[in-house]
Structure 1
Amino acid sequence: MLGVLRKYSSLSMEAKASLWYLFCNLVQKGISFIIIPLYTRLLTTSEYGTYTVFQSWRDLILIFATLNLSAGVFTRGLVKNEGSNDKYTAQMQGLSSAVAVLFFLIVLLFMDPFRRLTGFDEKLVITLFVYYVFNPSFLFWSVRQRVENKYKSMVAITLLASVLVPVVSLLMFFMTDIRANALIYGFLYVQIAVGMLFFVKQFVDGHAFFSKIVWLESLKFNIPLIPHYLSLIVLAQSDRLMIDHICGTSFAGIYSLTYNIGQIILIVIASINGSLVPWMYKKLKVREYHSIAVTSNMLCFLLGLMSAIVMLLAPEVVFIMGGSEYMPAKWCIPPVVMGTYYTFCYGLFSTVEFYIGKTSYVAIASFVGAALNIVLNLLFIPRFGFIAAAYTTEVCYMVFMFLHYFFMKKMTKERIFNIGGMSAICLVVFASSLVFTFLYDYDCVRWCVAALVSLLVLFKRSAFMNMVKGLKDR
């Protein structure tokens, strides 16, 4: 223990900050994941569907209501305006607020069509836009803490908000009769309250609201990225919205549980990428492509094994997370997990694209994936039901992966990855996902296969741990 503390003390400020940000992210996702079984048992499948469909609309509308100004453009501006970050933050906060208010005024003109489209009542629409005004203030503050490596207060407040959301939501659930809306308003009220504090603080510290130069530069940078941001949201959220309209809210709730289970793999991917992306940038700079190829294949193999375990135990995981009402979701687990697996693979290729700097290709890939997802959903959900959405999404992420590989090859002729080995691993994982579906009616066989895969992970654990450790050390 003392050795661990000494090693931690010897880390640089940047390394400590990265470690704490990773811990914060894992705890946040862990809290969200742990609370799901409670929500699914308190709510009917239809009510849980209402809650998850709201989340999809919230994220989709956010792109237009805030222009995602707290994303890359703000980080870029902080570096560019170093020394006057208080003023710059206040000016960006002013722009974000103005955009949210302007979009709200537009929505007011078309309130009835907007309410019919989303299913929101007037009170929820107003509360949602109050959230869009104030929540970006917290996001601006969080990004600034990361850039300035001030991790202590950022981690503490982020985790406090993560705990308060389910606490307030559950208190409202038991003390009112608004059911699913208790979870919705619980989230919104906590985020608005936290955002208000930073909204006031940052305007007081910055003594600014408007800057023609800052506003125009930010709009010029971010507006062309809206199709990219929107495409990513559509690819991730359109399934639930379309299932809600075509099959009903109850099926949207069942399908949403599937995606929440897919978070198991996403948490692992996020943890790996925290170290992998900086490591890859360093290797790309010195042209050590062999190291990238070997490490990438090993990570694809590791995630393939973990994905296999989740797919094999899908019936048990669905029952634990949702109960018997949600058991049809087990048929969606293999394609959803495969889609998540492909996100890691295309992330390897897109890292090279971002390193080279031609991000226009990223936007094209995002748009094609999102458009294809909508078309396939319109064709197959009415015919085959909500389970079809899982397979259309898997196909879209597979296309996404191929497009990123194709664009990467257009940017560079270097052999950065061992594509033959990576393709073989992907094919084996994909074939396994098809076989595992047929094993859901043969529990003993399925459990034996899951045990064998788990033993393989344990047998290889030292090699995997050393590899991940190497990403952090090099």
Structure 2
Amino acid sequence: GHDVGYAFYINLVCTASITFFFYKELKEGFMGEKCSWSECKVLVKKMLGYSWPILVLGIAGILNQTADKILFPYIYEKGDAHAQLGIYGAASKIAMIMAMITQAFRYAYEPFVFGKAKDKDNRQTYASAMKYFVIFTLLAFLVVVGYLDVLRHIIGHDYWDGLKVVPIVMAAEIMMGVYFNLSFWYKLIDKTIWGAYFSGIGCAVLIAINIIFVPKYGYIACAWAGFAGYGTAMLLSYFVGQKKYPINYPVKEIMIYVVLALVLFVGMTEANKYFSTGIACLINTMLILIFAAYLVKKDFPLKSLPFVGKYFRK
């Protein structure tokens, strides 16, 4: 058989190839007249001081996503651990819709943040970005939950028992996205060590909850462990960030959307439980429209849209 290690060698080659394309910049920066040897040493030291905590942060982030699956077979004792883990993994695939949204946002938002770093109104921009990120991820959350009876056909019928973890995993992904939004304060002030602290503590919370509760509650504890881990990192980053790099986030407005989404989520859960798929989808569509209507009224007036906005102006 093929050695799985080849995947790592291929990744190494790909990364080295990407680095090669920066040969000109590296040559000018470290061997050209623009940077003396002593200056280069200072620059390298500064770069490593900035980047190594981000490496730790990244490792902790990967552990947050994979630790439960690694630990589960060793700590679950009530039945076939691998079968239960398969159910959990299959159900989590539906929740990955939120992970894709968050990842797309990250790729677009990070260059934007550093580009705005020197602007006078940058903090207000970050606050607005946070608000709209939460709003639209909550909308995506409601859409997935509302049509879960349809989306469940993505996975096999044997895995439907695990669908109860989908809202929990999606909520955890939203908090991970919020944590990512909050993370820029320590990057902008070159104090990335805080990111390592927050991610490490969040990872420790996740692992502890898995070890304590998985033997009794199974994979549902894995989902709640991720929720608690990301939630811990998010709250720590927010409260410390408000002291180190204050940003006036519209917390009250965001919480109104969160509470509204929770109320609608409860309604959707009940509809999915007591009605047929067709009727439940109809009810859930109306609930989604309630959220959308509130969004349009408060923060996204139709008259502001390009092209079609003129039809809504008085």
The TM-score range, normalised by the shorter chain, is 0.7 to 0.9
Query: Does the 8 Å contact 1:334/1:434 carry over to 2?
Result: no
1:305 aligned onto 2:139: yes
* Map 1:367-382 → 2, pairs under 5 A: 367-382=200-215
Unaligned runs of 5+ in 1: 1-122, 149-212, 470-474
1:423 is displaced (CA, Å) by 3.2
AA in 1 matched with 2:65: A
1:419 aligned onto 2:251: yes
Change (3 A) 1:244 1:400: same
The equivalent position to 2:170 in structure 1, one of 313, 328, 337, is 337
1:147 is displaced (CA, Å) by 10
- The superposition leaves residues 53-86 of structure 1 with CA deviations (integer Å, 9 ceiling, x where unpaired) of xxxxxxxxxxxxxxxxxxxxxxxxxxxxxxxxxx
AA in 1 matched with 2:199: S
- Higher helix proportion: 1
Q: Which has the higher contact order (CA 8 A, sep 6+)?
A: 2
Query: Does the 8 Å contact 1:365/1:403 carry over to 2?
Result: yes
In structure 1, what is the Cα distance between the partners aligned to 2:250 and 2:20? 38
The equivalent position to 1:314 in structure 2, one of 143, 148, 153, is 148
The equivalent position to 2:4 in structure 1, one of 118, 128, 132, is 128
Change (3 A) 1:361 1:332: same
Query: Does the 8 Å contact 1:240/1:255 carry over to 2?
Result: no
1:129 is displaced (CA, Å) by 2.4
Q: What secondary structure is seen at the aligned counterpart in 2 of 1:285?
A: coil
- The superposition leaves residues 402-459 of structure 1 with CA deviations (integer Å, 9 ceiling, x where unpaired) of 01112212322x3342222223333443555455444431235642343124445776
Residue aligning to 1:231: 60
Aligned residues: 277
Please tell me the root mean square deviation across aligned C-alpha atoms, in Å: 3.5
Change (3 A) 1:144 1:464: farther
In structure 2, what is the Cα distance between the partners aligned to 1:391 and 1:322? 22
In structure 2, what is the Cα distance between the partners aligned to 1:291 and 1:301? 15
Query: Does the 8 Å contact 1:295/1:467 carry over to 2?
Result: no
In structure 1, what is the Cα distance between the partners aligned to 2:96 and 2:305? 20
1:348 aligned onto 2:181: yes
In structure 2, what is the Cα distance between the partners aligned to 1:351 and 1:467? 29
Query: Does the 8 Å contact 1:244/1:251 carry over to 2?
Result: no
Query: Does the 8 Å contact 1:311/1:433 carry over to 2?
Result: yes
Q: What secondary structure is seen at the aligned counterpart in 1 of 2:249?
A: coil
Q: TM-score of the superposition, structure 1-length normalised?
A: 0.51
In structure 1, what is the Cα distance between the partners aligned to 2:302 and 2:107? 15
Change (3 A) 1:233 1:464: farther
Residue aligning to 2:28: none
Residue aligning to 2:34: none
Residue aligning to 2:109: 276
1:140 aligned onto 2:16: yes
In structure 1, what is the Cα distance between the partners aligned to 2:222 and 2:272? 20
1:464 is displaced (CA, Å) by 9.1
In structure 2, what is the Cα distance between the partners aligned to 1:239 and 1:383? 14
In structure 1, what is the Cα distance between the partners aligned to 2:178 and 2:305? 17
Change (3 A) 1:136 1:374: same
Change (3 A) 1:416 1:140: farther
1:442 aligned onto 2:274: yes
In structure 2, what is the Cα distance between the partners aligned to 1:330 and 1:367? 29
Change (3 A) 1:137 1:453: farther
Unaligned runs of 5+ in 2: 25-40, 307-314
1:372 is displaced (CA, Å) by 0.7
Query: Does the 8 Å contact 1:265/1:337 carry over to 2?
Result: yes
Query: Does the 8 Å contact 1:315/1:327 carry over to 2?
Result: no
In structure 2, what is the Cα distance between the partners aligned to 1:252 and 1:443? 29
In structure 1, what is the Cα distance between the partners aligned to 2:267 and 2:205? 26
